[in-house]
Amino acid sequence: MRNISPGELSAWLQDPARPAPLLLDVREPWEFRTCHIAGARPVPMNEVPRRLAELDPESDVVAICHHGTRSMHVAHFLARQGFERVYNLAGGMDAWARSVDTAMPVY
């Protein structure tokens, strides 16, 4: 597991030569409705263990939350489950909205 900055993730998502990662948004449904990165899959943190079979351990996974704490816990959990290409969005959606998509609401 490693951290990825909003700028690094933005560059990755814009790079047509690089397959897009799974954007695993682990926030609560109301948070996801407030704002999210296009293409993100909402799976609230407390549902991740029972929905683990829905995720591909061979894929790149970027865990996302509001400030990066919940997603860091999920990223560590996934790494312990054998996921080798797991990233945590450092600063979460708050950092993304402030540095990448400034039109996105912050809460």
Please list, in sequence order, all residues whose beta carbon lies within 8 angstroms of the beta carbon of residue 91, skipping any fewer than 6 positions away: 5, 6, 67, 68
Residue 1: band (very low, low, confident or very high) from pLDDT cuts 50, 70, 90: very high
Judge whether 65 counts as a catalytic residue. yes
* CATH number of the domain residue 12 falls in: 3.40.250.10
In whole angstroms, give the CA distance from residue 63 to residue 52. Answer: 13
Residue 82: the pLDDT is: 97
Does residue 104 form part of some domain? no
In whole angstroms, give the CA distance from residue 62 to residue 14. Answer: 15
Catalytic residue among 23, 64, 65, 89: 65
Residue 34: the pLDDT is: 97
Which is nearest to 58 in space by CA: 85, 79, 40?
Answer: 85
Domain count, the chain: 1
Residue 107: the pLDDT is: 95
Residue 2: the pLDDT is: 97
Does residue 57 form part of some domain? yes
Quote the pTM value: 0.97
Beta bridge partners of 24: 41, 63
As a whole number, the mean pLDDT across the chain is 97
Per-residue pLDDT tens over the stretch 15-28: 999 999 999 999 99
Residue 52: the pLDDT is: 97
In whole angstroms, give the CA distance from residue 75 to residue 1. Answer: 6
Residue 4 corresponds to which tokens in the numbers above?
Answer: 């990825």
Residue 24: the pLDDT is: 98
Domain range for 34: 2-99
Which helix (DSSP H) or strand (DSSP E) does residue 61 occupy? strand 61-64
> Counting every residue, how long is the chain?
107
